[in-house]
Structure 1
Amino acid sequence: MTRSVIPLRKAVRPVRRDSMLDLIQIFEPDRQVVVVNRPRIPVADAYLQAIAARLGSGFRYAMKAEERFPAHLLPEHPERMAFAADIDFLIEIFCDLLGCPQVGVRLEVMQHAMCPRFHIDHTGIRLLCTYRGPGTEWLEDSCADRSKLGPASAGIEDEASGIILDPAGIHRIAPYAIALLKGTRWQGNSGRGVIHRSPQVPMSSGPRIMLALDGLW
């Protein structure tokens, strides 16, 4: 795929090539989640700290895979291009991995947990990257009772509903990590999908900011 990519600062591509190759494990039938950790990007941290209040609730945007991410969707600031470049980098990885002709881009700005209960998504493969605040939590299948998903929980909180068989199976994705989550609409994955939830957002820390990418066909 040929793309016109935003020029990247050296600090914006901190993930080793061998780590990125780990992402292809998401295509294994029994893999429901793959996470590749990467270090924080100081210029992106500085940018988000400066403009978080101007992001509102975020945005949604659909674009062709060969296009580059339009930086004008983000508030103006000296470090805007560095942050836009990392988003573009993740879009490139995602589109190359899935071979999708288009991608849906969501930047979510959250003051509280968007989806606080453990659930599965009726999607294909989704990329998540939390830039600010706590990352998404996911639950190992061996530590979960899927019969308690959705309405079966009767509105009871996860910790009391019985969905969590062993709390040691709860994992929180680190900030800046690239996470691929498989949903029920991925081929051969009906009735499955990674069990996950949004974390609580501490009031003292300011908004949680997360990027989500979905392939469009």
Structure 2
Amino acid sequence: MMTTTIAEERGELASPPAKMGSSTRLVTELADLAELASPEVSVCVLRRRIDPDVEGFVRGWLLPQPFVETLLVDPGAPDLSALAAGAPPSPGREAFLQDVRWLISLFSDLAGCPRVGVRLARLTRPMCPRLHVDRVAVRLVTTYVGPGTEWAEHAAVRRDRLGHGASGLPDEGSGVLRAGARLGRMAPFDVGLLKGEAWPGNRGRGAVHRSPPGTGSRVVLTLDALA
């Protein structure tokens, strides 16, 4: 597992400080992911630069073909061979698998879970086009290629307009976002930690998020904490 910071490993740019009362933390240091434990925080995003070896493998091998791969792994010894099945050995392939291993280790340490559900998919349309919350404790999401997940600040949302409360209207017309509200968006390789409704004491404050609009192809990794 990495012991140096993302800033040291990837030359990360500084993130702006969080606004007072914000439900989001944008960080560049691994230690600052501990902010997720704060009751007022629903979204924690670790900023990372793009790794050219990993991106090259994803674009060259994973992006051209439709796939969805789901795994249940032991964080201490995850078998990830299915995520790169058929790909010839290369520095990019190993860098990609190492990155996923590191994310699993990081996530399991933060979530304190003995097993992790892994989902890697190439997406050609938004899977969750409307703002919503997840009925999980916490979920990790990283987009390797394409636009990243979008999220809303807690104070920017009318939660009674989520789901059925939207009356079938798109987010831009349902009133789910308060006047003047703007969505945040993760960049490629960012590590997003999204608290769900099942996080202890977080009912009614689950991270409100959605897939980015558009029809471009994306390669997205999600991790879930399992007992």
Q: Which sections of structure 1, spanning at least 5 residues, go unmatched? A: 6-12
Structure with higher helix content: 1
Contact 1:35–1:179, Cα closer than 8 Å, also in 2:
yes
| Aligned ranges 1:133-152 → 2 under 5 Å | 133-152=146-165
Which position in structure 2 is the counterpart of 1:63? 73
Q: Which sections of structure 2, spanning at least 5 residues, go unmatched? A: 2-8, 13-26
Is the aligned partner of 1:216 residue 2:212? no
Is the aligned partner of 1:98 residue 2:111? yes
- Count of residue correspondences: 203
CA distance in 2, matches of 1:181, 1:139: 11
Is the aligned partner of 1:14 residue 2:27? no
1:36-76 Cα shifts (integer Å, max 9, x gaps)? 10100101111111113565222000011211342343141
Is the aligned partner of 1:73 residue 2:54? no
Which position in structure 2 is the counterpart of 1:194? 207
CA distance in 1, matches of 2:11, 2:180: 30
1:152-179 Cα shifts (integer Å, max 9, x gaps)? 1010010010001145431001110111
Structure 2 residue corresponding to 1:30, chosen from 16, 40, 43: 40
Q: Give the drift of 1:143.
A: 1.3
TM-score by length of 1: 0.87
Which position in structure 2 is the counterpart of 1:43? 53
Structure 2 residue corresponding to 1:128, chosen from 138, 141, 148: 141
Change (3 A) 1:94 1:15: farther
Q: Which residue identity is paired with 2:43?
A: V
Q: 4+ residue stretches of structure 1 with deviation over 6 A?
A: 15-18
Q: Which region of structure 1 is more displaced relative to structure 2, 45-54 or 85-94? A: 45-54
Q: Percent identity?
A: 36
CA distance in 1, matches of 2:215, 2:28: 35
CA distance in 2, matches of 1:72, 1:81: 13
SS in 2 for 1:107: strand
Q: Give the drift of 1:18.
A: 6.7
CA distance in 1, matches of 2:44, 2:34: 9
Q: Which residue identity is paired with 2:10?
A: P
CA distance in 2, matches of 1:163, 1:156: 10
Contact 2:139–2:194, Cα closer than 8 Å, also in 1:
yes
CA distance in 2, matches of 1:68, 1:105: 10
Q: Give the drift of 1:94.
A: 0.6
CA distance in 1, matches of 2:123, 2:180: 25
CA distance in 2, matches of 1:213, 1:63: 10
Is the aligned partner of 1:116 residue 2:129? yes
TM-score by length of 2: 0.83
